[in-house]
Structure 1
Amino acid sequence: MRQPVEVLDLLDPVLGHHIVNALGWRSLRPLQEAAVEPLLGGEDAVLLAPTAGGKTEAAVFPLLTRMNRHGWKGTSVLYVCPLKALLNNLHPRLRTYAEWLGRTVELWHGDVTTPRRRRILSHRPDILLTTPESLESMLVSTHVDHRVFFSGLHAVVVDEVHAFAGDDRGWHLLAVLERLSHVVGRPLQRVGLSATVGNPDELLTWLQGSGQGRRPARVIAPHLGETEPGTAAAPAAPPTAAAPSPSGDIELDYVGSVANAATVIAALHRGEKRLVFCESRRTVEELGEQLRRKGVTTFLSHASLSVAERRRAEDAFAEARDCVIVSTSTLELGIDVGDLDRIIQLDAPSTVASFLQRLGRTGRRPGASRNCLFLALDEAGLLSAAALLLQWSRGWVEPVVAPPEPRHLVTQQLLALCLQEHRVGENLWREWWGGIGPFGPGAAPVVRHLVEQGYLEQDGGVLFIGPEAERRYGHRHFMNLTAVFTAPPEFAVYNGRSEIGRTDPDLLTEEVAGPRKLLLAGRSWLVTYIDWSRRRCFVEPTDEGGRARWSGFGGDRVCSFALTRAARDVLLGADPPVSLTKRAAVRLTKARDAHTDSVHPDGTVVTRLPDGDIRWWTWAGHRANATLAASLPSVVAPQRRFADHWIRLRDDVTPARWKTAVADAAAGMCLPEVDARAVRGLKFGEALPPRLAEATLAARTADEEGARAVLAAPVRFTTLARQ
């Protein structure tokens, strides 16, 4: 490997001068050194590093060098992020780097004003910071000549690529990148930036799209010893291969309520800057209000607060010292909120990967260590936190897996392509996506259905937008077609002319005794007027008594097979190697005593209660249990059938019937049943044949591997005596 000075010399000399003199860096970080040569050579790559590991510079410095060395003109690099706030945060830094070389950087997302967009279109920046949805809007807009604007495009950087790859926004991003490649007539260099994941090779394969196996690619992660080039087609290493060793100051406490959590936070770590993560917007609001009552300088951040409210909070927090900001996952990604002293987590995040991302927000100062205080609000939260920390201590991180069978996005992309091109040859649409994933020959039934139902018109060998698509999606120039998620309806909340945020309409319609009050931005508000037609409500400050609520299509949190099994291990006596307070240890002992009959080290347990209730304690997670329930109809109860930890069985089940049912299930697993309400929540699902919409959701709620692992384990039948 080259020495650091030699690697720095490979960059543009003007850039190297400013790195040393303006930034004061004596050398590049290991990730930045390792990325220079492959990115200068045009390779695709995934750059892995913990939070604040220098990933942005590792990607941008070589690409700026390529830009100058090869004389790229116009918008030649796209920098794509999952959050507008992250783009806003990155813009000043990237603009500084680009200006060193006489290059320009601009923002393009939903909050950018029309006059500014016009300036961008007339003076194309060298680097454009944007989101996938805004890219889609540019491709379909009648105000953007996308062939001219993107004609100089050569490379795409995808920040927080793991956040895309694990859900439908990832499929949407891949499809848009394939269309962009088709527009410019060349493959685009693709560089993904990611925190630690369990399957980096598969993530790189996914990111390459139709370029897989055709373009050189590598995972670059010096801290893991992975910098060698490869085809990105080899099977991924086990999840443990990419996980860091446990480190830092981690403590687990049990507090029992949000009010008690506020008391602990107010009493501990005074004088420090603390970031508190909660798993719901409602908890953020309740904790924020409790902390303010205790005189703690408190700021809030979550998706239903207005942009201005969030920015004020984040700016104030970045400049303050003795304060707390309470947030959902909106501050989990790389938005800079200043120099943090401590992370506090109420209950547990849904994944180890999220915990690593949050933990990485601390320990950035020299001599500081990464830290996190877990405050469990109830026994379930304590068990979830202990299970997550146990998995983390084992060096395990979730593999990032794209959701299977995204047929609804095939629908969205076909309609968007017809908007973009106006007319598409009825047999040429496949070329636009290079045959990736669901966009190959398997999409033909979707195309036929769209034509049959009038979403697309077919005439003279070409496809174009039909009347049904106009009716459903044509409002405001098809703006609803560029977003791949359905958001529940919310009312905007105003105090005078200032928007505070948005609230669930149920809070405005339910019967209440006395004045109607809301809790938003950590304060209580009295509702003074509701504008039903414009979905707005107006409020004035009040002392207390406000309530917060938001609904969504996701329902309760779904636990994975791995984390649910880790919870079982905790109940069987495994302690995570972190500091447990006395309260947490006592409560964990009580939980173990309560679950003595539902866990066994040698397999699963079926318990028959005196009231006749029979439960099979699988400890397999929601998706595996959904798969098992569908595959064992002769022994599973028809109603209230399963949760993350157990499956309810018929009251007439016997060991003999059980053995027959298990043998039948092992011979062929079934997909879970799909609720019709869930199909209605699938964006663009109404444009799919009903059977395909149901099949899409069924595939996404299944875990056959976890189900088979449970079926293969021994089962113990026990009858519990009446207490």
Structure 2
Amino acid sequence: MAESQAFLKLDRRIQHYLWAEGWGALREVQEKAIPLILPADQDVIVAASTASGKTEAAFLPALTHLLQQPDEGLIVYISPLKALINDQFGRLDRLCENLEVPVWPWHGDITATSKRQFIQKPRGVLLITPESLEATLCNRGTSIAGLFKLVTFIVVDELHAFIGTERGKQLQSLMHRIETALGRKVPRIGLSATLGDMSLAAKFLRPDREVALVDVKSTGGQLLILVKGFEEPSAEDGTRRKNDPEKERAPLAIAEHMFKVLSGSNNLVFPNSRREVERYTHLLNSLCEQGQSPREFWPHHGSLSKEIRYETEAALKQRERPATAICTSTLELGIDIGAVKSVVQIGTPPSVASLRQRLGRSGRREGEAAILRGYVIEDALDDKADLETQLRLDTVQTAAVISLLLEHWFEPPVVGGAHYSTLVQQLLSAIAQHGGLQARRAYQLLGAAGAPFEGLTKRSFAELLRNLGQGEILTQDHSGLLLHGRIGDKIVNHYSFYASFATDEEFRLVAGGKTLGTLPVSQMMSPGQRILFGGRTWLVEDIDEPHKTIHVSPAKGGAPPLFNGGAGRVHTRVRQRMRELYVAGESLSFLDATAQRFLDEGCIAFETLALQDRVLLDQGSQAILLTWLGDGANEAIACLLMSRGVQAFSGRLGVEIVRGELSLEEIEDRLADISSEAAPPLDELLANANNLIRQKWDGLLSPHLLRETYASSNLEMDEGLGWLRTTLEHRISQ
């Protein structure tokens, strides 16, 4: 340690603490980050694998800088999770107590007494969520400058979890509003384990100046991967079992295998929905009961009470008894649950970046391999097998994601989007903070150059103000000062206002007055679309957005749809890798015999159907435009078709087109017309689009602004049009 120049730069009290704790050396990420952060004269992103020491890489130099100041200082640490704040408090409190630096956790579960103590003397380290920071700015008004007067750093943990989201735009706005109140820039430190493009992440952290980058690639211990395939046999009546929980056999077989290989160790299991979390937790604990063994399997998802979630986290942290969590992405971020032996993915991973983040939980002990177990389920092949079954899409997509993971590629962060929903929230919050704002000042604070919503035109801002005024969200006094209107005042004074994101809502599916269940929807839907639910195909008749209800009727004939509900948006690179796997037809070392058979069968179907050379596929009453593009480009092409009177929807292979009376040649002609012209205005393009309301305050936007914010976050128009123009240089139907 004595030879480390970074170590020698640290405050002597911190050096003594590290010696006392038995540190033999600083880690690579700390060696690189300390000299960049210590002067407090630039923004820094620290990207490294889970458990690499990123927290210390930020706080050791930040605390050293704080201790070197003649006046007391303040470090603001912003986390996406209350549980992560609790963990970091445990890690920092002992170090900071030694330094006589107070540490203040601040979220909804912290007592009012502790918060008052911080407000009386705002120094040390403040650990806070964006929502609590929002409440502070909203309610503390003009005292914000005094409250944050001593701030020397703003540290953002799990940076990747914010980028491209409404919560991320809220975070950008909060940091900007604090700096505006202070009249100076505060150095920002971003910490993340998963960043696909460091330059885009830097643009998110600080859009208007350069950011120093520390990107420590994992040297990577051994990585063990095995994907097992399970086949769901056809029911005796010839119907498909898959997607019908009452008939499925494969989940029980998967549970039995997991019980055999996971029992006696700590693991994380990620199914793809809350329903599946409940199902597998029940199956696994039933096996515990049958074997008269103690409970080892615990659920964790956002709909559970915090007591149940804490119970699961506590079971993982203790080491006396083995525990495995069956969870959604709630345990994907850096909550300290200790090392786990393996990570299990049931079904297709949401993304390469998500799988990488999850896998970072395993192999954290010296000398241990990281272990990924995957499970895929495919229906048995028979004369009723649909295209998705023939192509073994789940297996091939899973294989594509894993192959990209092994190449160290993952999705770049999404930094664009208008985020008008969060603009509404930030406007209302800023008005509360300042006791009213002139429209010109509000625009400068939120939409001008260097502001969080930079790119917002004055015309769009004026339209937003008019619409909010008509809805009594805002009002103006005789001097033109913007104030909360009758309804806006109620919104801001409700406890739910401080969160920029909507709680997860699912659409209720109703057929003939009977509720079939609920379905998460992640892409645009329209009447006439076909969806798969409960093992059956349904036709969308009507979408009741205010009541989150989709009215459906049984679909007659035609191929089942490939609509994937709320499974997450897929990047173009993943779809292109799927096509490459179909063309190559090779064996993959991480697939077991059954999963490899699924891949082989998919490749055979791909070759038999001549999909390598076909772009427009006849499916009877439907046609599929085989683009092999991501969801954003596919949805853009679908919107372009719908603007010309052709019903079309984004699907897993490309764009699903309802033919009606159209021949394939007529569809091709429509596509050729689209590719030869510029995209129509958004109001024309999305005139017939439904369920565009996705974010919390979208319902307060005018129809035009709603279409604009939806398109900016969901449609890759340039990519979609570019693909059409390239493809249509020659005839596409075969």
Compared CA separation, residues 179 and 142, structure 1 to 2 (3 A): closer
Q: Which residue of 2 aligns with 1:21?
A: 20
1:175 alignment partner, one of 173, 181, 197: 173
Q: Which residue of 2 aligns with 1:456?
A: 474
What is the alpha-carbon distance in structure 2 between the residues aligned to residue 130 and residue 153 of structure 1? 14
Bigger shift: 370-379 or 587-596?
A: 587-596
Deviation at 1:111, TM superposition (A): 1.9
Q: Note if 1:703 corresponds to 2:716.
A: yes
1:282 alignment partner, one of 270, 275, 278: 275
Q: Which residue of 2 aligns with 1:484?
A: 500
Q: Note if 1:324 corresponds to 2:324.
A: yes
1:457 is matched by which residue type in structure 2? Answer: T
What is the alpha-carbon distance in structure 2 between the residues aligned to residue 267 and residue 505 of structure 1? 37
Residue pairs, 1:22-171, within 5 angstroms: 22=21, 24-42=22-40, 43-73=42-72, 76-141=74-139, 145-171=143-169
Contact 1:332 1:358 survives alignment (8 Å): yes
Q: Which residue of 2 aligns with 1:438?
A: 453
Compared CA separation, residues 437 and 122, structure 1 to 2 (3 A): closer
What is the alpha-carbon distance in structure 2 between the residues aligned to residue 669 and residue 17 of structure 1? 64
Q: Which residue of 1 aligns with 2:358?
A: 358
Compared CA separation, residues 706 and 220, structure 1 to 2 (3 A): same
1:426 is matched by which residue type in structure 2? Answer: A
Bigger shift: 123-132 or 556-565?
A: 556-565
1:479 is matched by which residue type in structure 2? Answer: Y
Q: Which residue of 2 aligns with 1:393?
A: 406
What is the alpha-carbon distance in structure 2 between the residues aligned to residue 264 and residue 589 of structure 1? 23
1:608 alignment partner, one of 589, 598, 618: 618
What is the alpha-carbon distance in structure 1 between the residues aligned to residue 330 and residue 3 of structure 2? 36
1:623 is matched by which residue type in structure 2? Answer: G
2:88 is matched by which residue type in structure 1? Answer: L
What is the alpha-carbon distance in structure 2 between the residues aligned to residue 438 and residue 604 of structure 1? 43
Q: Which residue of 1 aligns with 2:555?
A: none
Structure 1 stretches lacking a partner, 5+ long: 225-243, 491-502, 513-552
Deviation at 1:649, TM superposition (A): 5.7
2:626 alignment partner, one of 598, 617, 642: 617
TM-score by length of 2: 0.80
Contact 1:137 1:479 survives alignment (8 Å): no
Q: Which residue of 2 aligns with 1:219?
A: 213
Compared CA separation, residues 437 and 505, structure 1 to 2 (3 A): same
Compared CA separation, residues 325 and 467, structure 1 to 2 (3 A): same
Q: Which residue of 1 aligns with 2:429?
A: 416
Deviation at 1:440, TM superposition (A): 6.0
Bigger shift: 702-711 or 253-262?
A: 702-711
Bigger shift: 331-340 or 156-165?
A: 331-340
Compared CA separation, residues 679 and 632, structure 1 to 2 (3 A): closer
Q: Which residue of 2 aligns with 1:540?
A: none
Contact 2:77 2:156 survives alignment (8 Å): yes
Contact 2:159 2:191 survives alignment (8 Å): yes
What is the alpha-carbon distance in structure 2 between the residues aligned to residue 118 and residue 363 of structure 1? 42
2:86 is matched by which residue type in structure 1? Answer: N
What is the alpha-carbon distance in structure 1 between the residues aligned to residue 105 and residue 278 of structure 2? 31
Give CA-to-partner distance per residue, 1:189-240, whole Å, 9 cap, x none: 100001132210121122114xx23xx631112438xxxxxxxxxxxxxxxx
2:226 alignment partner, one of 237, 251, 257: 251
Compared CA separation, residues 604 and 145, structure 1 to 2 (3 A): farther
Q: Which residue of 1 aligns with 2:373?
A: 373
What is the alpha-carbon distance in structure 1 between the residues aligned to residue 583 and residue 121 of structure 2? 64
What is the alpha-carbon distance in structure 2 between the residues aligned to residue 249 and residue 705 of structure 1? 39
Give CA-to-partner distance per residue, 1:271-323, whole Å, 9 cap, x none: 32221112111111100000001116111111111111111111112214433
Deviation at 1:631, TM superposition (A): 2.5
Q: Which residue of 2 aligns with 1:658?
A: 668
2:420 alignment partner, one of 407, 426, 432: 407
Query: Does the residue aligned with 1:579 lie in a helix, a strand or coil?
Result: coil
Contact 2:194 2:353 survives alignment (8 Å): yes
Compared CA separation, residues 178 and 263, structure 1 to 2 (3 A): same
Q: Which residue of 2 aligns with 1:191?
A: 189
Contact 2:106 2:115 survives alignment (8 Å): yes
What is the alpha-carbon distance in structure 2 between the residues aligned to residue 330 and residue 584 of structure 1? 28
Residue pairs, 1:617-696, within 5 angstroms: 617-632=626-641, 637-638=646-647, 642-648=651-657, 650=659, 651-653=661-663, 655=665, 658=668, 661-662=671-672, 664-670=674-680, 673=686, 678-696=691-709
Query: Does the residue aligned with 1:206 lie in a helix, a strand or coil?
Result: helix
Contact 1:406 1:696 survives alignment (8 Å): yes
2:581 is matched by which residue type in structure 1? Answer: V
What is the alpha-carbon distance in structure 2 between the residues aligned to residue 578 and residue 3 of structure 1? 45
What is the alpha-carbon distance in structure 2 between the residues aligned to residue 605 and residue 432 of structure 1? 48
What is the alpha-carbon distance in structure 1 between the residues aligned to residue 650 and residue 339 of structure 2? 48
Deviation at 1:394, TM superposition (A): 3.2
Contact 2:649 2:655 survives alignment (8 Å): no
Q: Note if 1:309 corresponds to 2:312.
A: no
Structure 2 stretches lacking a partner, 5+ long: 232-249, 289-294, 379-391, 517-563
Give CA-to-partner distance per residue, 1:382-425, whole Å, 9 cap, x none: 22211101222333211101241112222211111011111223
Compared CA separation, residues 710 and 103, structure 1 to 2 (3 A): same
1:217 is matched by which residue type in structure 2? Answer: V
What is the alpha-carbon distance in structure 1 between the residues aligned to residue 350 and residue 422 of structure 2? 25
What is the alpha-carbon distance in structure 1 between the residues aligned to residue 645 and residue 19 of structure 2? 67
1:264 alignment partner, one of 250, 257, 265: 257
What is the alpha-carbon distance in structure 1 between the residues aligned to residue 732 and residue 37 of structure 2? 59
Give CA-to-partner distance per residue, 1:72-97, whole Å, 9 cap, x none: 425x1111111111111111101122
TM-score by length of 1: 0.81
Q: Which residue of 1 aligns with 2:342?
A: 342
Query: Does the residue aligned with 1:385 lie in a helix, a strand or coil?
Result: helix
Identity of aligned residues (%): 27
Q: Which residue of 1 aligns with 2:292?
A: none
What is the alpha-carbon distance in structure 2 between the residues aligned to residue 635 and residue 246 of structure 1? 54
Query: Does the residue aligned with 2:412 lie in a helix, a strand or coil?
Result: coil
Q: Note if 1:469 corresponds to 2:488.
A: yes
What is the alpha-carbon distance in structure 2 between the residues aligned to residue 324 and residue 337 of structure 1? 11
Contact 1:281 1:328 survives alignment (8 Å): yes
Compared CA separation, residues 247 and 699, structure 1 to 2 (3 A): farther
2:606 alignment partner, one of 589, 595, 604: 595
What is the alpha-carbon distance in structure 1 between the residues aligned to residue 3 and residue 655 of structure 2? 55
Compared CA separation, residues 386 and 511, structure 1 to 2 (3 A): closer
1:465 is matched by which residue type in structure 2? Answer: H
What is the alpha-carbon distance in structure 2 between the residues aligned to residue 399 and residue 69 of structure 1? 38
2:256 is matched by which residue type in structure 1? Answer: T
What is the alpha-carbon distance in structure 2 between the residues aligned to residue 701 and residue 594 of structure 1? 31
What is the alpha-carbon distance in structure 1 between the residues aligned to residue 253 and residue 623 of structure 2? 36
Contact 2:141 2:435 survives alignment (8 Å): no
Deviation at 1:144, TM superposition (A): 9.8
Contact 1:147 1:183 survives alignment (8 Å): yes
Give CA-to-partner distance per residue, 1:345-388, whole Å, 9 cap, x none: 11132111111111111111111111201111334432221110
Give CA-to-partner distance per residue, 1:489-514, whole Å, 9 cap, x none: 79xxxxxxxxxxxx9999xx9789xx
Q: Which residue of 2 aligns with 1:494?
A: none
